[in-house]
């Protein structure tokens, strides 16, 4: 396990553009395309932090607040908000910009959990997460409650036939 890091050390800013192949008959983007971009950006942040291969363990609530249209520029920001033992929590904010209309707006906000694994798929410890900004400190302070909620949901899902 390497040294502790700040969220800014692994932050990912990914930019995409909505192309015709990303859209449905209404000219707005498929939800799955945005989910794929979110997963990739978050996975890169987790990997930068841990140095190991990381798999997606879960995605918390995911809301599409406004549609993305063909030609929109999409900015995907992924930033670690907590690290536990072998897992980390990554917040992803998706914003769109339409330069022709001089518009910028938030479309999606999602929280994902990644687990660092070895070459046999066994979870391995992650470096600790340091915090400097008030925002990072607030995320860390509440992360235990969010983790407990996920754990109870996971247990219930495992029991369900």
Ligand X SMILES: CC(C)(COP(=O)(O)OP(=O)(O)OC[C@H]1O[C@@H](n2cnc3c(N)ncnc32)[C@H](O)[C@@H]1OP(=O)(O)O)[C@@H](O)C(=O)NCCC(=O)NCCS
Contact residues toward ligand X (CB under 6 A) are 55-58, 84-87, 113, 115, 117, 121, 123, 150-151, 154
The Cα–Cα gap between 161 and 157 comes to: 8
Nearer to ligand X, 66 or 146 (CB): 146
Q: Residues near 123 by Cβ (< 8 Å), separated by ≥ 6?
A: 85, 86, 87, 115, 116, 117
Helix (H, G, I), strand (E, B) or coil at 35: helix
The Cα–Cα gap between 159 and 147 comes to: 19
Minimum distance, C-beta of residue 117 to ligand X, in the bound complex (Å): 5
Nearer to ligand X, 103 or 151 (CB): 151
Minimum distance, C-beta of residue 101 to ligand X, in the bound complex (Å): 36
Minimum distance, C-beta of residue 51 to ligand X, in the bound complex (Å): 16
Nearer to ligand X, 77 or 150 (CB): 150
Nearer to ligand X, 85 or 132 (CB): 85
Helix (H), strand (E) at residue 142? helix 134-159
């Amino acid at each position: 396990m390497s040294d502790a890091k700040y969220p800014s050390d692994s932050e990912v800013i990914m930019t995409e553009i909505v192309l015709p192949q990303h859209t449905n008959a209404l000219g707005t983007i498929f939800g799955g395309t945005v989910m794929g971009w979110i997963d990739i950006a978050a996975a890169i942040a987790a990997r930068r932090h841990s140095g190991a291969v990381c798999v997606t363990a879960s995605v918390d609530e995911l809301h599409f607040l406004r549609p993305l249209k063909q030609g929109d520029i999409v900015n995907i920001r992924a930033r670690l908000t907590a690290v536990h033992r072998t897992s980390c929590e990554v917040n992803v904010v998706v914003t769109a910009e339409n330069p022709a209309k001089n518009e910028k707006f938030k479309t999606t906000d999602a929280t994902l959990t990644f687990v660092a694994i070895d070459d046999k798929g066994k979870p391995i410890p992650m470096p600790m997460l340091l915090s400097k900004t008030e925002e990072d400190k607030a995320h860390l302070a509440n992360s235990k409650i969010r983790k407990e909620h996920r754990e109870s949901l996971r247990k219930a899902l495992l029991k369900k036939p």
